[in-house]
Amino acid sequence: MKILPFAMLFLVSIAVIAQQKAKIKELYTDQKAFSIIIGEEEAELYLVAQNTVDKNPETYLVKGWYNTNNNKPKKDLVGIYSKDRLVLYHFNDKTRSSNFLSQELKQQDQSITLSEYFNLSNFSEKITLTADTKNWTNNKATKNINLSDQDLEIRKSKKYLLFGNGGLDLSFIGADNWEYEIIASSPTTIILAYNYRSNTTGKGRCAAGTESGFIALNFDKTNTLQEKERYIKESCLFSIEAQNDKEPTKETVVYTCANFMSGETYTLTLNTAAATIVKNQ
């Protein structure tokens, strides 16, 4: 699979109308509040993302607090999040909390490993939240936790397509790691180019591969989305490669795409002036 830089995928100019009437905006958040029930007691949980661990953006430390609705004092928490697994600790010793956040915790004078952060001992309280386990413990008792929001990720970014007086959350198209660029626009159509990594783990098949193509969004006169169509240009996962590009005019680009898995060949004809894209097989 030929891997190309994202910028090379866009051989066409962005239409002026797209720049004037539509734009993509990315918003970031690194904090989250949860409503939870510990046993039979309602509580509030508030967390803020901290430093990443082992330079992995999907694994990071968190700090925050929780308190129950019967006016008990807030209890400070530190913890770690990694791939839909969130473990939180309350330590009576504030120095231990500080060492946790600075990744300076040690056991028997040895720095602890990443897996050991999820299984510490000598805590006052521990909250474990995973797909299979949701509980609170103080080593004497264990209580189940009911969670209002099953999405445990604290640090998130969301991309929005803004146009006129309207807007569209692009998470309905793809995951947070998808990158978008507006390449054509008309009063009723916006065409986006997309690009994302085939394999976010960096291991195994397509570890360095990319997925790229176009999304055509069609709206009515009230800016209500009527239709969404995806056109794949290149894909490591589906063994699709754009073998050559032709530019009949400045506004039109023709991509010839070969699917080596099925043996199919098709063309994508993109007209940025008219904001149209056509697939021919």
pLDDT of residue 151: 87
Q: Classify residue 195: in a domain, yes or no.
A: yes
Position 167 pLDDT exceeds 80:
yes
Confidence band, pLDDT 50/70/90 cuts, at residue 4: very low
Question: Do 169 and 207 sit in the same domain of this protein?
Answer: yes
Tell me the residue range of the domain where 237 lies. Answer: 6-27+158-280
Question: Do 274 and 170 sit in the same domain of this protein?
Answer: yes
Question: Do 97 and 175 sit in the same domain of this protein?
Answer: no
Question: Do 11 and 42 sit in the same domain of this protein?
Answer: no
Residue-by-residue DSSP string for 119-186: T--S-SEEEEE-SS-EEEE-SS-EEEEEES------SEEEEEEEETTEEEEGGGTS-TT-EEEEEEE-
Question: Do 137 and 165 sit in the same domain of this protein?
Answer: no
At 263, which amino acid appears? G
Question: Do 275 and 198 sit in the same domain of this protein?
Answer: yes
Per the structure, how many domains does the chain have?
Answer: 2
3-state secondary structure of 155: coil
Question: Do 53 and 140 sit in the same domain of this protein?
Answer: yes
Q: Classify residue 111: in a domain, yes or no.
A: yes
Q: Classify residue 73: in a domain, yes or no.
A: yes
pLDDT of residue 111: 61
Question: Do 63 and 100 sit in the same domain of this protein?
Answer: yes
Task: Tell me the pTM.
Answer: 0.63
**Which residues, in sequence order, are CB contacts of 74 under 8 Å at separation 6+?**
65, 66, 67
Q: Classify residue 236: in a domain, yes or no.
A: yes
The residue out of 113, 147, 181 marking a domain boundary is 147
Question: Do 184 and 209 sit in the same domain of this protein?
Answer: yes
Name the percent of the chain lying above pLDDT 90.
Answer: 53
Question: Do 141 and 56 sit in the same domain of this protein?
Answer: yes
Find the mean pLDDT for residues 179-196.
93
- Cβ pair 44, 27 in contact under 8 A: no
Confidence band, pLDDT 50/70/90 cuts, at residue 150: confident
Confidence band, pLDDT 50/70/90 cuts, at residue 18: very low
Q: Classify residue 152: in a domain, yes or no.
A: no
Q: Classify residue 37: in a domain, yes or no.
A: yes
Find the mean pLDDT for residues 179-191.
92
User: 177 or 185: which carries more pLDDT confidence?
Assistant: 185
Query: How far apart are the C-alpha atoms of 237 and 240, rounded to whole Å?
Result: 8
Query: How far apart are the C-alpha atoms of 248 and 259, rounded to whole Å?
Result: 23
Query: How far apart are the C-alpha atoms of 106 and 191, rounded to whole Å?
Result: 53
pLDDT of residue 70: 72
Find the mean pLDDT for residues 250-279.
92
Query: How far apart are the C-alpha atoms of 22 and 97, rounded to whole Å?
Result: 46
Question: pLDDT (tens digit, 9 = 90+) per residue, 58-117?
Answer: 889 999 999 987 767 899 999 999 888 999 999 999 998 998 998 776 554 556 677 888
Which two structure tokens, joined as six digits, stand for 95? 């120095």
Q: Classify residue 1: in a domain, yes or no.
A: no
Question: Do 201 and 276 sit in the same domain of this protein?
Answer: yes
Say which residue the tokens 């308190």 belong to: 67
Query: How far apart are the C-alpha atoms of 209 and 46, rounded to whole Å?
Result: 37
Find the mean pLDDT for residues 8-20.
35
Confidence band, pLDDT 50/70/90 cuts, at residue 199: confident
Average pLDDT, the chain: 85
Q: How far apart are the first and last CA of the chain?
A: 21
Say which residue the tokens 């962005």 belong to: 14
pLDDT of residue 248: 66
Least confident of 31-40, 127-136, 175-184: 175-184
The residue out of 111, 128, 147 marking a domain boundary is 147
Query: How far apart are the C-alpha atoms of 48 and 63, rounded to whole Å?
Result: 5
Name the percent of the chain lying above pLDDT 70.
Answer: 87
Q: How does strand 125-129 pair with strand 86-90?
A: antiparallel
Q: Cα–Cα–Cα angle for 6, 11, 15, nearest 5°?
A: 105
Q: Classify residue 153: in a domain, yes or no.
A: no
Confidence band, pLDDT 50/70/90 cuts, at residue 5: very low
Question: Do 189 and 90 sit in the same domain of this protein?
Answer: no
The residue out of 147, 181, 204 marking a domain boundary is 147
Query: How far apart are the C-alpha atoms of 22 and 12, rounded to whole Å?
Result: 17
